[in-house]
Structure 1
Amino acid sequence: MSAVKPATTGTAREPRKAALSAWIGSALEYYDFALYSQAAALVFPVVFFPTGDPTTAIISSLATYAVGYVARPIGAVVLGAWGDRRGRKNVLILAMLLMGLSTLLVGVLPTYEQVGILAPILLVVLRLVQGFAVAGELGGAGAMVVEHSPDARRGFFTSFTLQGTQIGSILATGVMLPLAALLSDEAFREWGWRIPFLLSALVILAGYLIRRGVRETPVFETQSATTARRRFPLVELLRAHPWTVVRCVLMTFTNVIGMATLVFGVSFATQEGYGIGFSTSDFLWVTLVANITAALTIPVFGGLSDRFGRRGFMIAGGLGGGLLTIAYLWAIEQRSLVLVFVFVVLVQSVLFQMWNATFATFFQEQFPARVRVTGFAVSQNIGLMLAAFFPSMFTAIAPPGSAGVPLTIGTVTFGICLVAAAAAFLTPETRGRSLEELDAR
C-alpha cells in the first residue's frame, strides 16, 4: 500500500496541475494576442502608418490585427499535427515561446520614421507569427486537461482554459489603458506603449517554467508509438471525421453572440452615424464588466456540464444568447446604460458562457486521441476565421441611418445561432463516457 499511495496522490493532483498550466498559459497567450488589438487602435496608426490621412492609417493598422486571424488556420494545421505527433506538452511550450517572442519583438520594433516601410512589414510578420501561435493554444491546452482529468470532471477542469482567455483579455486592457491615461500623448507614443509588450519577456519565462512541470498525458504516451507511423493528422482527420469537423465549425458560429454584442454593439452605441451617443469609455466599462463576470461563470457551467451534459448547455446557451441579443441592442437604442449592463451580463456572461465554458470539452471529446489537437484546432480556427466577418456583415445589413437595427441584427444573430444549435443537436452527447470508449467509436 505504501508504494501505491504516492502514485495515486500524484495522479489525483495531475488534473489540477494541468488545469493550472492551461489557465496561466491561456491567460498569458491571450494577454499577448489582445494587447495587440489595444495598440492597433491606440498607437500603431501613428507609429507605423503615418500616411497623413488618419482614416487610412487606422484602417491599415486594424488590417494588421485581422492578419492574425488569417494565420490561425495555418497554425491550426501545423501545430495541431505537432501536438498529435510530438505531444500536448510539447506543442504548448512551442506555442508559448512563439507567442512570447513575437510579442516581445513588437515592443522593440523601429518606427516608420526610423526605417520607413520596413517597420509595418516587420509588424505584419510578427502579427502572423502571433496568429499562428495562438491557433495551437486552446487545442493543445484542452487536450492536455481533458486527457489528464477524471471522466466525471472533464468539463470542470477544461473550462479553466477558457477562463484563462478571459483573464488574458482583462489584463491586456488593465495594463495598456492606465499607461495611456497617465502618460502624455507624446510619451505614450514614443515609449509608453512598448512597456506591456516588453513584459512578454516574463511570459516566456513563466510559461516555460509552468508548462515544463506538467507531465505528458497517459493517453498520448499510449498511442504515440502508432501515431508516428500514421498519415499526416489533417489527412486522417478529413478522411475519417469530415462531418464532425463540419459540425464543430458550425457550432463555433455561436461566437456570433460576442460579435453582435461586444463588436457591432460597441459601434452601434458609440459611432456618430448611428446617433446613439454613448462614449467610448462607457463601453470600455461594459466590455470589462462582461469579461469579469464571464470569468466567474465559466467554471460554474463547466462543472454543471459534468452533471447534466454538454449538448444541452451548447444548445440552450446559444439560442438564449442569440435571442436576447435583440434586447441588448434595444437597450442601447433606448440609451439606458443600466439596461445595457443588465443585458450584457445576461447575454455575454451567462447565456453565451453556457456554450463557451462547454465547447472546449465537447469538441475535444469528438475526436480520437491521434487527431484530437488537430481536430479541435482546425474546427475552432476555421469557424472563428469565418465568424470574424460577421461584424462587417452586420454593418452592411444595418448601416448608419438604418431603422430597426436591434430587430434586424438580433434576428440575423438568432438565425446563425439556430444553425449552430442544429449542429450541436446532431452531435452525440459525450458526458460520462470514458476517453477510451469515445476513441473507439
Structure 2
Amino acid sequence: MKIAIVGSGYVGLVTGGCLADFGHDVTCIDKDEDKIEALERGEIPIYEPGLAELVKANVAAGRLAFTTQLAGAVAAAQVVFIAVGTPSRRGDGHADLRYVRDAAREVAEAVSGFTVVATKSTVPVGTGDEVAQIIATTNPSADVAVVANPEFLREGAAIDDFKRPDRIVVGIEDERARSVISAVYRPLYLNKSPLMFTNRRTAELIKYGANAFLAMKITFINEMADLCEAAGGNVQEVARGMGLDNRIGGKFLHAGPGFGGSCFPKDTLALIKIGQDLGSPMRLVETTVSINEQRKRAMSRKVVAACGGEVRGKTIGVLGLTFKPNTDDMRAAPSLDIIGGLLDQGARIVAYDPYGMAAARGLIDTVEYVSNAYAVADNADALVLVTEWDEFRSLDLARIKTAMKAPVLVDLRNVYSHDEVTRHGFAYFSVGRPAGAGGKSGQSEAAE
C-alpha cells in the first residue's frame, strides 16, 4: 500500500518507519529542506532508541523515502497521514491547529482518486470535521474519507508501542475507510492488537482522555508522596500496594518531580480549553495542571532545604535534564523549573544528560554542561538526580563522594536506597520515603 505522511517530526518518523517495516511503500513529507536532506543522509533529528536503525534499513530496502514535494507523494497515496505539530497556542493554551489546516488544504489540492486522510496529530474534538470541510471547500471534487487515528506512543519506547499496541483507535464517518485502515494495520493482526472503530469525535476524545488520566495518576502519587513524608509512610510501597489492584494498575504511579514532555502538558491544557468552550469544565484536569506546575518549582525548594536552607554561591550538580530517560526531549522538562529556581536562589549549576544537552543549551545558557556524571560531582555542594537514565542507577558512590565538596544527594526519582547511600557517608534526600528507605524532606540523614 502506498502511504504519504505529512510531517516528519517525532510521530511522523516513527509512524513512517514502522509502516515501512510492515512492507508498505511510505513517503514522509516535510517543508524543512534541511531536515529532509539530513534524513536522506541517514541523520535522525531526534533521539529515539532504534529509530535510526529502523529508518536506515527501510530506506535501503526502498520502502521509505523523504521529500519536500507534497503533491506527487499525496497523489500516489491511498492513505495520507497528517502528523504535524499541534503545540499549545501562545496566550490561551488551546491547541494551535494552523499546521493541520495548512496540511489539509495542500492535501486537498493534491489527492487523486479515493483517498483516506487520517489525522495522527493530537487534535481537539471536532478537528476531523474541520479537516473534512477544508478539503471539501478547497477541492469539491476530491473523493476523500477523513478519519481520526490518534497515536499512543511513549517517547523512549515508541517503536515497540507502534508495533505492539494496546489498541489502535480509528474514528470514521465513511464506511469505505474501514477496510483501508484495516489493511494498513493488517501486519499487526498476528499480535491480536485490538482495532477499535468509533466515530471521529469519540476517537479524538479518547486520546485526550487517556493522556489526561495518566497525568492525573502521576499527580496523585506525587501528592501521596508529600503525605507520606508528612506521615512517615513510604510512597513506593503505597504505590505498589495500590498498583497490585487490577482496577488501578502500577504504571504511572512513580513519585517524582512532576510530568513534562511534548504531550501531557499541552494536551491537558487543550482539554481544559475544550471543556471550557463547550461549557463542560474539566475540574480534575485543571487541578492536575496547577498541582504539577507548583510541584516542579517545589523541587528546587527541596534542594535548597537539603543544602541547609541556603544555596547562594554553592555549586549544585544536576544529573539528567530531559523530561524522561531515552529521549532528548526537553519540552516542559521538570529540570527547567528546578534549575530556574536554584539559579534564582543564587546557585551555580553544573549539569549532564546523555542526550539532552544540545536542546538544553538552547533553553538555559547560564548552566555549565559537562561530559559525564562524575564531572558533575566535581567540587559540588549537592548532587540532584532529576532524570533516571540507566547510567545514573549504579554510580560509583565512593568516587562521587570523594569528588564533592559536600556529600549531599537529592534523589528526585527514588533510584537509590537510603542504606546504600548513607553507608557511603552521604546526606540523602528522596521523595515520599522515610528514614531507612529515603530521606525525610528537609532532614539530613548522613551515615553515622
Q: TM-score, normalised by structure 1?
A: 0.25
Larger RCO, structure (CA 8 Å, separation 6 or more): 1
- Structure with the larger helix share: 1
Q: TM-score, normalised by structure 2?
A: 0.24
Bigger CA radius of gyration: 2
- Structure with the larger strand share: 2
